[in-house]
Amino acid sequence: MPAKASLPPEPEFGAPLAPSHPSPETLKLLALRRSTPVSALSDPGPAADDIDTMLRLAMRVPDHRKLEPWRVVIIEGEARALFGDVLAAARRLRDPDATQEQLAAERTLPFRAPLILCVVSSPVHDKKGTPVWEQQLSAGALCQNLLIASQAMGWAGVWISEDAAYDGHVHAALGLSGHEQVAGFIYLGTAKEQPVERQRPDISAKATRWTG
């Protein structure tokens, strides 16, 4: 069963914080972290207090100039059926020749997990000209924090995009403004089967030491 998070109170603004937090459990989680394929997710899902905890943890991300250039749309319960209708309508607009079976399949997509957290990248155009790219990276960090926090709490999840993340009809239905993008849909629930290890990068091929 997923464990209830036991967290320290949120620090007050300006409170001194430790620069590091040695944690063997965190290292173990990172060493073994694996997304669960969306097809392997099922009920039950996180309750409201679990979601609040995940969001609190996930939003402690690097954020240049403290712009908070992201937000989260929570999709759960009966709202998944409405989101399924949105996905079907978007598919019909993209592909007028889509069959009824294909549209029906779109309507089932939100029911692959009990909870979907749509992370929206929402860059702020501030006077200091903080690069949009940096703000988008912060939204990506929020997605990763959600995966780590949810797994540490005992939930299974996966970060996906699919056509919906780039579809204007979906954006409008979710209330995105013209400058916003979907950074990802985080599907969360209980794993009905264990994921298996995937191929991982060869560090020697991906990391080099610069010597001038």
Q: How confident is the model at residue 2 (pLDDT cuts 50, 70, 90)?
A: confident
Q: How confident is the model at residue 135 (pLDDT cuts 50, 70, 90)?
A: very high
Q: Which residue has the tokens 């239905």?
A: 173
Contact (CB, 8 A) for 33 and 148? yes
The enclosing H or E element of 168 equals helix 168-173
Write the CB contacts of 2 (distance below 8 Å, at least 6 apart in sequence): 46, 50, 153, 154, 155, 190
**Residue 6: predicted pLDDT:** 81
Write the CB contacts of 122 (distance below 8 Å, at least 6 apart in sequence): 69, 70, 71, 139, 177, 179, 180
Burial (CB < 10 A; 0-12, 13-18, 19+), residue 64, is middle
Please give the structure tokens belonging to residue 64. 């240049």
pLDDT at 191 over 80: yes
pLDDT tens profile 14-25: 999 999 999 999
pLDDT tens profile 151-188: 999 999 999 999 999 999 999 999 999 999 999 999 99
Structural domains of the chain sorted by starting position, each given as residue range(s) with its CATH number in brackets: 37-75+115-190 (3.40.109.10)
Q: Which residue has the tokens 């403290």?
A: 66
pLDDT tens profile 27-58: 999 999 999 999 999 999 999 999 999 999 99
pLDDT tens profile 64-97: 999 999 999 999 999 999 999 999 999 999 999 9
Q: How confident is the model at residue 5 (pLDDT cuts 50, 70, 90)?
A: low
Q: How confident is the model at residue 4 (pLDDT cuts 50, 70, 90)?
A: low
**Residue 113: predicted pLDDT:** 98
Encoded amino acid at 79, one letter: A
Burial (CB < 10 A; 0-12, 13-18, 19+), residue 147, is buried
**Residue 87: predicted pLDDT:** 98
User: How far apart are alpha carbons 130 and 133 in whole angstroms?
Assistant: 9
pLDDT at 1 over 80: no
**Residue 3: predicted pLDDT:** 63
Please give the structure tokens belonging to residue 80. 């998944």
